[in-house]
Amino acid sequence: MQFFIDSADVGEIKKALAMGLCDGVTTNPSLVAKTGRKFSEVLKEITSLVPGPVSAEVTAVDHEGMMREAHALAKVADNVVVKVPLIVEGLRVVRDLSSEGIRTNVTLCFSPVQALLAAKAGATYISPFVGRLDDISEDGMAMVAQILEIYRAYDFATKVLVASVRHPIHVLEAARLGADVATIPFNVIDQLARHPLTDAGLKKFLADWEKVPKEK
């Protein structure tokens, strides 16, 4: 399973790259707004740092507007993937962009049927938002399992990118299900490496090492 970092913070992305845990990046308008920087400036810097796919989202909701923004984003760098919302006009955009060879990430997916439509439209990635479903007492990972079942049954090329990841259990379940990608906030990536028994064991090893006679 690939790890994408869900961030527009260049500092976080550099840390994830240094750990070998950044196969790509996903951004959205909310993440970019947190940086306080211009979107074009942020996107150019991220695409120059990250060799893998970098998802950048359109903000228009009409076909013409989304196509215009998508073409502008695709020109920024070869590794840009255009994020398109899962709405009727968005599916038209995905179909058109796919015919032009422009990769797409269909975002804000909340049902397996929506994911089926995105795959039929030719999406490169589908982004089911598991955390937001959990927030309203639905099972986000159950949705991912159903999407994977459908895609495998019909051999769709669309990759399942598990999004809205809130904690390590989401990552574990995504990996067990065989999802292609999980896009993960940096704080969750950091949590993945931590375990209290690891910390306790290391502390004991170091304490015992201090008791070993040292060579002069």
Residue with tokens 């479903």: 133
Strand 24-26 to 54-57 pairing: parallel
CB 132 within 8 A of CB 110: yes
| Alpha-carbon gap, residue 24 to 6, rounded angstroms | 9
Query: Is-catalytic flag, 211?
Result: no
Q: How long a stretch of residues is the chain? A: 216
Selecting among 83, 159, 203, 211, the annotated active-site residue is 83
As given in the structure block, the two tokens for residue 215 are 């060579």
Alpha helix (H) ranges present in the chain? 10-18, 29-35, 39-49, 63-74, 88-99, 112-121, 130-135, 140-154, 168-177, 186-192, 196-211
CB 37 within 8 A of CB 73: no
The radius of gyration of the chain's CA atoms, rounded to the nearest angstrom, is 20
Which residues contact residue 130 at a Cβ distance below 8 angstroms, ignoring those fewer than 6 apart? Answer: 140, 141, 143, 144, 162, 163, 164, 165, 166, 170, 174
DSSP 163: B
Catalytic residue ranges = 83
